[in-house]
Structure 1
Amino acid sequence: MGSTDTSTEAPVPFRVVVVGAGPRGVSIVERIAAGGLGGDAPEIEIHLVDPAPAGAGEVWRTDQSRELNMNTYAGAVTLFTEQTTEAVLPVVAGPTLLEWADLVVEHLAPPRLGDEHASRLRSIDPAVRATFAERPPSAALVAPGGFLDELAAVELDSHASRALYGAYLEWALDRATAALPSASSVHVHRARAVGIEPAGHVDVVELDDGARLVADAVVLAQGWLPSAPSPADAALRDRARGSGAVWIEPASPIDQPVERVPDGVDVLVRGLGMGFFDTVTLLTVGRGGRHELGTDGASVYVPSGREPRFHAASGRGLPFRAKSRYGSLPPAGGHERLRAVVPRLHGTVDFVRDLRPALRRDALDAYYATLHRTNPAAFTAPLEVVLGIVESRADDLDELDRALRDVVPDAADRFDPVAATTLPAGRFASSDALHDEIVARLRADLVEAERGHDSPIKVGLWSLASARAAVSRVAAFDGLDAEDAAGPLHEFMQIGNLAGSGPPAQRIRELLALVDAGLVTFVGPRPIVDIDEATGRFVMSSPDVEAEPVTAPVLIDAWVRPHDVRTTRDELLRRLVEDGRARPFARVSGLGGRVPTSAVDVDPVTSRIVHGDGTTDERIRLIGVPLATSRRDTLISPMPGTRATMLVETDAVAADLLAQARAQRSVRSRSTNASTSASSRSAE
C-alpha cells in the first residue's frame, strides 16, 4: 500500500491590528510580551497602524520643538506595570522616564555623570536595570542633535521635553518587540486606518494607503480623535469664511498651523491650560524671543519683534496653577477617609453623600496640618481642636467657616479650594481690575510653588487633585448617575485639573514676563466670541468684566476639542457607528432611563466595543481617550506606585487577546488533528 502525506501547513499566527502606535499601542505590545513569559505563548503577529512614528505617536513625536514640555515630573511617569497596578499578566519591572534617562547617560555618556546621577543610579532596582539592558538604546540618542544635554540635566521633579518622552516611548517599543517570543512579530504601517469590515471569522482593516490587513483581533488606541465643532463654533466658522480672518481651530499645539499667525498682530486666545502655554511658547521663543534672568531673579522677556500680542480668556478666566517644586515626587499617602470609604461603595453611588465628605475632610486635614507645621501662629487653639471642627462641621462650608473663625482668625489662613481656583464672584469694574487680580494670583502661586511641601494651599489642593484617579474608578461607567457626573463630579474634576494638571512653575514665570512686556493681557471668564464681518476681525468679551470688547484678526483655540462619538470626524469610528457595530455609552440616570454620553460604549473589563443592539463585539477592543467620560482617568500618563488606569486598561486587553489567541490555537489544533486522523483512516 502506498504512503499518504499527512503533513500540515505551518500554523497561522494570531493576527492583532493595533490602531494607534503611541503610549497605549506600545503598552499593548509590552503586555503581550509579558504574557508570553514562561512558555506556552501563542504565535502573535502584531500590526501597528499609525501615520505618526511608532512609539512616540503624534503627540510625543521626537521632531517637535524641544521647548514644549510635559506637565508631568520626570520621576513620576512610567510605561511599566508594578505590583500596585494589580495586573493580570506578569509584572515586568521597567524604568521611569528619570531612571531611563540616568541609565542612558550611564550607558552612552558616562563622563557626563555627576554625584546626583550616581546617587540615583545606586537606588535603581536590579530588575529595572536588567530590563533596560535587554535592549540598550542607540548611540544616536546622544549624538549631535540628540538628547545628551537634556538627558544629563533631567532631575526628579523636572519637566522633560515632550520629544524626550517620545524617545523613551520609542525605546520601550523597541525593547517590548525584542521581548516577544521568537515566533511572534511586530509590523509597522505608517498609514491611517479608515475602516473595519467583517469577513467571516476575521476583520479586514482598511488603511488610507490602500492596504488591507486581515485581523483576528483589533485594538483601537488612537488617542485624541477629531469631533465636529459645537453649533456655535460651526456658525462662527461660516461667518468667518471669506472674511480674511485667521482661525486656528482646536488641536494639539504641534498640529496647529501657527505659522499662519502674522508677526506682530493682535491674537485672541481661548484656553488657559497647557495648550495655552505651548502656543505662547511657539509664538514667542519659537520666533526668536528669549527669556533671561533679571536682577531680581524674575524672568525677563527679550522680544524678537515677531511675536504677536495675546488677549487670553477661558471658562474660569484663570491660568492653570503651577506645579510645585518639591525636590522629590509629589506627596503620597493621605486620603485616609477616602481610602476607608471606597471599598464600601458598590453599584451607583451618590457623589455628595458618599464621596465629597471624605474628599473635603482629607484636603482640610492636609491643609491645616501643613499650616500648623509652617505657621503655628495662625492658630489660637491646638491643631487637634481645629481638626475636630473639620471632622464635625465640614459638611456645611458656611458653618465650618464660622466655627473656624475663633481658632484660625485670619480669613486668608483658612482653606477655600473654590476661591483658590475661581475668580471672585461678581463683575470686574474694568479690564485693569481683572488684570491686577490675575497677576497677583500668578505671583502668589509662584511663591507657593517654590515652597513645595511647605505650602498649605498647594498641599491642600494636591489632596484634591491626587484623588482624581480614585474618584474616577468609583465614577467609572455607572458608578455615578448622569446627574452626578454632570454636576458635582464635573466641578470636582475642574478644580482638580486646574490645581493638579498645570504647567511647570517656569512657565508661570515666563507668562509674567510676557505680561510685563505688554504681550499678554487677560479678557476674563466665560468668553463670548464673534466676528465683525465688516472689518474681518474677531471680537471677544467677557460678561464678567466691564470693558470694551477686544478685536483681533486672529483667533487661536488653545485646547483640544473633546472627542464625542456622536459627532466624531474619525472615519473609522464613524463607520463603525453607522454600521451598528459601535454606539455611545449611555449613563444611568437618577431620573430613570439612560443618558447618552460622548464616550464609546465598551465592556468595562475587556474593553470590547458594544454594538448598537447591546451585544459585545468578538474582535474589536477600544481603549484610551474616547472613554474619557465613561471609564474616566484616561488622559493621564501612568505614575509609578499607583494603580494607573492606562496600564490596568492595556493589561486587561492584552490578557483578553492572549486568551483569545490560545483558544483559537486550541480550536485549530483540534481541527488539524481531526483532519490528520481522518486522512490516516482514509489511507488505511
Structure 2
Amino acid sequence: MTSIAILGLGPRGLNVLERITAYVCNGYSSQPIHLHLIEPGVPGVGIHYDDQPDYLLLNTVASQITMFMDPTVKDAGPLLPGPNMYEWAAGLDDPRYNQCTPNCYLPRRLFGEYLHWVYQYLCRRLDRFCKVTLHKTSAKEVIHRPDQTFSILCDDQTEIDADFLFMATGHSENYPDERDRARIQFVENNRFRNRYLQYVMPGPAPIHTHFKDVPPGATVAIEGMGLTAIDAIASLTVGRGGRFHRNAETGALCYKPSGDEPCLAIISRSGLPLSCRAINQKGASDQYQARFLTADQVRHWKMTKNRGELDFFNDVFPLLLKDMQYVFYTTQATKLYGNSYAHLLGEMLVRLGAEATENLIVNDCPGIELFRWENIANPIDDSALGDPDAYRKWLISFLEQDLHEAQLGNVSGPYKAACDVLRDVRDNLRNAVDFGWLSPESHQQFLRRFIPVMNRLAVGPPVQRLEEMIALYKAGYLDIGFGPNPKVALSEGAAQFQIVSTTFKEQKKSIYADVLCKAQIPKSSPTQDRSALIQNLMKRGLIRPFTNGNVDVGGIEVDDQLNLVTSSGESVPNAWALGTVSEGSKFYTYIVPRPCVNSTALVDAGRSVTTMFRQSLRPPLSEQGHEPGKHSAMGA
C-alpha cells in the first residue's frame, strides 16, 4: 500500500487533496493508497476560522475564488467539477448569502465554511477508492529514511509512515525580533503603572481576539496600513457596536459610535493606506493579456540568461510598466474617441519605445493623460509635508480620489484598469522572479522598492473599507495625520507608547498610546518560525531557508518542481512544499485560486501530484492515449 501524507490542510493542502481525489477517482492508481491528513484544526479552513465575526471580510470578490480545476489549468490532470465560492454561497439555505452577487465581498468566516465543505466533498468521493485517515494533531518531526521513505512523529505521539510527503503548513508564527522584545519588556516593566498598556502581535490568528481588554477611551496605535490594519479598525469600531450609515442627502458614509470604542491612530512607513479595489467589471475570469511582459519574453530570458542574472528594474519592470501604460492610454482613448481609435492607438503602442510613446501621447492624443509610475509610487505632494493639518487634508483628498477611481471600475476606469494589470500579469512576473532568477542585488531591490507599491496598488480592501476609514476620520475616531516614517518611542515617564511624526517641516505631531498593534503579516522565515516541525526539519537538514546569494528572501527553498531542497542543496524527489511555507522561492503564494485563469495555486498542486503519480503509482492516462482535463469524477 502506498502511503501519502499531507502536513497541513488549509487551502494549499486542500488543493493537493483535490488533485489526489481527481486522479484516484479516475482510476490512475494501480495499487491501494492510504492518505494521511495531518491537521490540528478544522480540515480545509486554515486561518479562516468559523468563529470570526462577519465584519471581517475577504478582499476578493466571491466569483473569483475557487478550489476546483478548470480546463485552463495546464498539465494538472483530470477535472473534478465543483462550485466556486459564489456558486456555493448562492446555493446556501441562508438569506444572508443566497442573494449575494458574483461581485460581493463575503465574510472570511464563510470562506472557511466553503473550504470545509470542499474537504467533505472530496472525502466522500475518496471513500470508495482509498483509505483516508484524518489525524487531528500537528506534525513535529519528519525523518527521511535511507530508503527515501518518511517517518512522521506528531504532537500526540502518533507515528506515520509515508512514501510521499506534501508540506502545506501555511502562515508562520515567528519568534519576536529585537524590536518586539524591547516593546514586550517595556509593557512588562510598566504595566503596573498603566494597566491598559499592551503590545499586540496578531500573527496569523484573527485580530479581533487580541482586543478584548482594550477599554473605551483608550488610545490604540495601529502600526501598518494594510489588510491587517483594516481588520483591526473594523474590530475596534464595528466590533464594538459602532455602525456606519449613509447620509440621506449627500450619500456620504457616516459613523455612529457606540461609546465603547477606543481612540485610534494609524501609521506606516509610506504614510498611505492600501488603495481600494475597483468595482469589478471582469467577471470571474477576464484578464488583460500582456503585450510586453509576455510568457514568451520570460521564456526568452531563461534561454539567454543564467539563473541569477535577471535584473528586475532593468529587464522586467520596463515591460510591466509598458503594459500598465498600454491599458491606461487605450482605456482613456476608448472613452474619449471610441473603440476604433483605441485599437489603432494600441497597435501603435506595441511598436514604440518609451520616448516615442510619450511623444505620441503628448503631441497627437489630445485629452489623454500621461502615465507616470513615480506619481503613483510616490504620490505625496511636498506641500502636504509642511504640518499635520496639511497632510490630513491632502490624504483625505487623495483617498476620496481613490474612491472615485474605484467607482469607475477595473475596465472603464483608466487608473484602476492600469493598476489591475499588476494582478492580471502576475503569473508572468512570477515566472520571471521565481527560484532565484533575479540577481541577489536586484532581488533585494524588488522586495524593498517594488513589492510595497504593488501591494498598495493591487491587493487592497473593498471600496467599503476605504469609505469607512474616511468616515471614522471625519467622526474623530481615527487619526491619520502622522505622514511617512513616524517613530514609535517607549515613554517610561508616561508608561505609554509615544508616536511621533518625523517628516513635517514646520510642526511635529505626537500622541501617546496605551496599546500598540503591530498590524503586519509575519514574514515566512524558517530561522524565526516558532513551529517545532520547521525547527526540527532545519536541524535534520531536510529543509533550508531560501536565500539568493547573501539576500535572505524568506521561506524554505524548493526547486522548480516544488521539491524540498536539503541543507546540502539536494532535491527530495518525493517531498513537496506548497503555499506560504515556500514564499520566497515562489512569489506571491498568499492568493487564493481564481477560476479559469490557469491559477498558480492550482497549477502547483496539479504539477506536484501529477509528478507523484508518474513516479510510482501509475503513468497518467494522458500517456495512455487520454487527454488530461477531459475526465470527470463527479459521478465517483
TM-score by length of 2: 0.87
SS in 2 for 1:576: helix
User: Of the two structures, which has the highest relative contact order with CA contacts closer than 8 Å and spacing of 6 or more?
Assistant: 2
- Mind listing any 5+ residue stretches in structure 2 that lack a counterpart? 192-196, 620-636
Larger deviation, residues 552-561 vs 527-536: 527-536
Q: Distance in 2 between matches of 1:224 and 1:238?
A: 26
After superposition, residues 649-668 of structure 1 pair within 5 angstroms as 649-662=604-617
Residue of structure 2 equivalent to 1:467 = 425
Q: CA deviation at 1:247?
A: 0.5
Residue pair 1:19, 1:221 contacting (<8 A) in 2 also:
yes
Partner of residue 434, structure 2? 476
Distance 1:185 1:268 in 2: 51
SS of residue in 1 equivalent to 2:543: coil
* Amino acid corresponding to residue 341 of structure 1 in structure 2: Q
Q: Which residue of 2 aligns with 1:108?
A: none
Matched, 1:302 2:256: yes
Instruction: Give per-residue Cα distances to partners, 1:143-166, cap 9 Å, x unaligned.
Output: xxxxx1232122111111111111
Distance 1:431 1:403, change over 3 A: farther
Shift of 1:405: 4.5
> Structure 1 stretch 210-219 or stretch 510-519: which is displaced more?
210-219
* Larger Rg over CA atoms: 1
- What residue ranges of structure 1 are gaps of 5+ in the alignment? 1-12, 106-141, 143-147, 665-684
1:251 is aligned to 2:214: no
Write the distance in 1 (CA, Å) between the matches of 2:224 and 2:291. Answer: 35
Alpha-carbon distance change, 663 to 52 in structure 1, aligned in 2, over 3 angstroms = same
Where do residues 93-242 of structure 1 align in structure 2 (5 Å cutoff)?
93-102=81-90, 104-105=91-92, 142=93, 148-180=94-126, 182-198=128-144, 201=147, 202-242=149-189
Counterpart residue type for residue 455 of structure 1: G
> Is residue 534 of structure 1 aligned with residue 493 of structure 2?
yes
Are the structure 2 counterparts of residues 492 and 457 from structure 1 closer, same or farther at C-alpha, using a change threshold of 3 Å? Answer: same
Paired AA for residue 44 in structure 1: I
1:67-124 Cα deviation digits (max 9, x unpaired): 111111111111112232213321223221112223x24xxxxxxxxxxxxxxxxxxx
In structure 2, how many angstroms separate the alpha carbons of the residues matched to 1:544 and 1:208?
50
Identity %: 26
In structure 2, how many angstroms separate the alpha carbons of the residues matched to 1:618 and 1:415? Answer: 47
The answer to whether the 8 A contact 2:275-2:456 is kept is yes
Q: Which residue of 1 aligns with 2:502?
A: 543
Once residues 308 and 602 of structure 1 are traced to their aligned partners in structure 2, the CA distance between those partners, rounded to angstroms, is 45
Matched residue count: 596
Whole-angstrom distance in 2 between the partners of 1:660 and 1:331: 36
Please show how residues 304-453 of structure 1 align to structure 2 within 5 Å.
Answer: 304-329=258-283, 332-339=287-294, 340-346=296-302, 347-348=306-307, 349-375=310-336, 388=348, 392-394=352-354, 404-406=361-363, 413-424=369-380, 426=382, 428-452=385-409, 453=411
Q: Which amino acid aligns with 2:260?
A: R
| Matching residue's letter, 1:609 | L
Q: Is 1:563–1:598's contact at 8 Å kept on the other side of the alignment?
A: yes
Secondary structure in 2 matching 1:525: coil
| Superposed displacement of residue 361, structure 1 | 1.5
Counterpart residue number, 1:680: none
Aligned to 2:515: 554
Q: Is contact 2:487-2:499 (8 Å) kept?
A: yes
Of 611-620 and 561-570, more deviation after overlay is shown by: 611-620
What is the alpha-carbon distance in structure 2 between the residues aligned to residue 653 and residue 192 of structure 1? 22
TM-score w.r.t. length of structure 1: 0.81
Within the alignment, does 1:273 sit opposite 2:226 as a pair? yes
CA shift in 2, pair 1:417/1:625, >3 Å: same
Q: Partners in 2 of 1:402 and 1:431 — Cα distance?
A: 39
d(CA) in 1 for partners of 2:423 and 2:449?
12
- Name the stretch that deviates more: 333-342 or 381-390: 381-390
CA-to-partner distance for each residue in 1:484-508, whole Å, 9 max, x for gaps?
2221465333332212111011111
Q: Distance in 2 between matches of 1:65 and 1:596?
A: 36
What is the one-letter code of the residue matched to 1:63?
D
What is the CA deviation profile of residues 627-648 of structure 1, one whole-angstrom value per residue up to 9, with x for unaligned ones? 2221112111111122222112
Find the counterpart in structure 1 of residue 2 from structure 2: 14
> Retained in 2: the 8 A contact 1:363–1:461?
yes
